[in-house]
Amino acid sequence: MKREFIIEACSGQAIEVKKNEKITVIDLDGSQVVDFFAEAKQNPLEFLSTGVTIDCNRSINLKTGDTIFTNLYNPMFTLLSDDVGEHDLLHPCCRPEMYEFFYHNGEGHPNCLENINKSLRKQYPIIHPVNLFMHTKINADGSIAVEPPLSKPGDKVVLRAEMDVRLGIAACSVSESKCNGGRCSPIKVIIES
């Protein structure tokens, strides 16, 4: 069985996925960051954790074969294939306060925190997603810079769910920086048994 979802620019969607189903996330137009978050279906207090993922993989980078973990140190996803090889595990979801801090336009700005919370019907105060396709450069002095994504139109990642989950996915809303190459666009998600 195959289910397909188009997530429009600057919006989010919740998708239920069963253990062992494959999740394909496609950057339709290129240079679009995807905020990829999930919570365990059986325990709403268990959710995707980039901090634990960094800890368990001993890396701030994701590569094919790596596991994405929950806050309780349980495997949640396995990265099966990756056309891009550059994703961000450091930045939280964009939110009104972030837009206000950097761009002075936070009021009413679409943002990934609200889009994911709305889709999951939750009120997480902060979400640290896997920012698929986001290109964060880490300099020798420890400073970071967000660069344009390396993803081209049609590039994708494929993951396998290691537990039943509710995905909360957003097509990132930042057009003010290099984060999405200066413009926001839709993404496609395919779920397959």
Domain ranges of the chain: 2-192
- The pLDDT-based confidence of 192 (bands split at 50, 70, 90) is very high
Q: What is the pLDDT of residues 138-176, one digit of tens each?
A: 999 999 999 999 999 999 999 999 999 999 999 999 999
pLDDT at 110: 96
pLDDT at 44: 84
Question: What pLDDT, on the 0 to 100 scale, is given for residue 179?
Answer: 94
Q: What is the pLDDT of residue 39?
A: 98
Mean pLDDT of 57-85: 98
- As a whole number of angstroms, the distance between CA 114 and CA 169 comes to 11
Across all residues in the chain, what is the average pLDDT? 97
Cα separation, 132 vs 151, in Å, equals: 10
Of the pLDDT bands very low, low, confident and very high (cuts 50, 70, 90), residue 117 is very high
| Cβ neighbours, 10 Å, residue 43 | 12
Q: Which helix (H) or strand (E) holds 99?
A: helix 96-103
Candidates 83, 178, 76; CA nearest to 129 is: 76
Give the separation between CA 11 and CA 165, rounded to whole angstroms.
20
Segment 118-127, tens digit of pLDDT: 999 999 999 9
| Sole residue written with tokens 């099966």 | 80
Q: What is the pLDDT of residue 173?
A: 96
User: What is the tens place of the pLDDT at every residue in 81-108?
Assistant: 999 999 999 999 999 999 999 999 989 9
- Look at residue 55 and give its three-state secondary structure: helix
Average pLDDT over residues 9-28: 98
pTM: 0.97
Torsion on CA atoms 166, 167, 168, 172, rounded to nearest 10? 180
